Amino acid sequence: MLQFDLLTTDQPRGDYAGSHARRGTLTLNHGVVQTPIFMPVGTYGTVKGVMPRSLEEMGAQIILGNTFHLWMRPGLDVMAQFGGLHQFEKWNKPILTDSGGFQVWSLGEMRKISEEGVKFSSPVNGDKLFLTPEISMQIQTTLNSDIVMQFDECTPYDTKGHITTEREARSSMELSLRWAKRCQAEFTKLENPNALFGIVQGGMFESLRQESLEQLVEMDFPGYAVGGVSVGEPKDEMLRIMAHTPHRLPAHKPRYLMGVGTPEDLVQGVADGVDMFDCVMPTRNARNGTLFTRFGDLKIRNARHKTDEQPLDVTCTCHACAGTSGVAYAIGGRDGFSRAYLHHLDRCAEMLGPMLASIHNLHYFLNLMSEVRAALDAGTFGAFRVQFKADRARGV
């Protein structure tokens, strides 16, 4: 079940030429999602260090689960016992699950790809396993995710220094297309009541991207993703594919850019016509002491923060910055936590440190998307992009 309603698009205004940005709503079995949207990543059935209640409070509308890892642990028997991932992790809003293709790709020499699927050794206990398009659909049906991703081969940018050639990228892309048809057939056979997305591949070759896109559109998926970016390629190559592909997908269906990225990537992605994003960056960077703010990135481990009484971001209303009051102040009179305190937690390896940092980073990403939606509603997305860039360049 999926319904996508396009509400507005970015229009030229004055000297502003407009963009491919658009505003919509995505209705799924477990709720309505306002787009453009960022989706927090919950690999093992949890967004690391963040309670479901905190996710709701910061405005998360849809989160991710990982097919490959949940298949490994706790396994399908447990998932079936709880009726799927929603009840298991106590999240009553939409969930998207990836297909396992990226995780299989990341195993490197531990896996062997064939026409039928991928043979590999379990990274958990060494068991010999076989993942196919059909098995991926069966796992995701048991997980009962609102959005199911097709099983694909994630085309690498390079392998041990060898840059993927156009011929190699074509072979990979065509395999993913054949797997897409098998996914669609198995998804239908299982009578899965949710929505299956196709994934555009083709490496860094625009002609292959276009060919993949056109064949997937002929298959008439409810939604489409752009995969195989942010896999080690130079940033300008990623931006080139972002600029080429999303806006060429059907206008009446949702578009998802997989695994991207920085705040700047998200705003550019919206301008390129993307509706949905995910990335581990907010939580991973938080655990490593990097905080995203309106005015640039902040390294909480730097000694200069040892006595700093300011919150991470004076404009932020997350629990870390503003506590329960919802208001952050530059110095004193606030209910949130100081940079000095967060620096102290990090230096002492206290678990509260990465928890608060994760809450802040996720809140920042979700609030950024909320501001993007508001700008699109108001017809001021061009001005928003200018201010966003200026703010981020200001520095903390």
Q: Please pick, among 98, 272, 275, 346, the residue that the annotation labels catalytic.
A: 98
User: Distance between CA 88 and CA 386 in Å, rounded?
Assistant: 43
349, 320 contact by CB (below 8 A)? no
197, 150 contact by CB (below 8 A)? yes
User: Distance between CA 342 and CA 108 in Å, rounded?
Assistant: 37
Tokens at residue 319, please? 């629990």
377 is catalytic: no
308 is catalytic: no
Q: Please pick, among 10, 265, 278, 308, the residue that the annotation labels catalytic.
A: 278
β-pairing verdict for 296-299 and 290-293: antiparallel
Among 304, 306, 295, 308, residue whose Cα is nearest residue 364: 295
155, 172 contact by CB (below 8 A)? yes
Amino acid code (one letter) for 146:
D
User: Distance between CA 328 and CA 335 in Å, rounded?
Assistant: 8
Question: ∠ CA 86-128-183 to the nearest 5 degrees?
Answer: 50
β-pairing verdict for 2-9 and 37-39: unpaired
Backbone conformation region of residue 273, classed left if phi is above 0, alpha if psi is from -120 to 50, else beta: left
Number of continuous H segments (helices) and E segments (strands) in the chain? 15, 18
The residue count for the chain: 396
Instruction: Tell me the Cα Rg of the chain.
Output: 21
Amino acid code (one letter) for 134:
E
Amino acid code (one letter) for 43:
T
DSSP notation for 186-201: HHHHTT-SSEEEEEE-
Active site residues per annotation = 98, 278
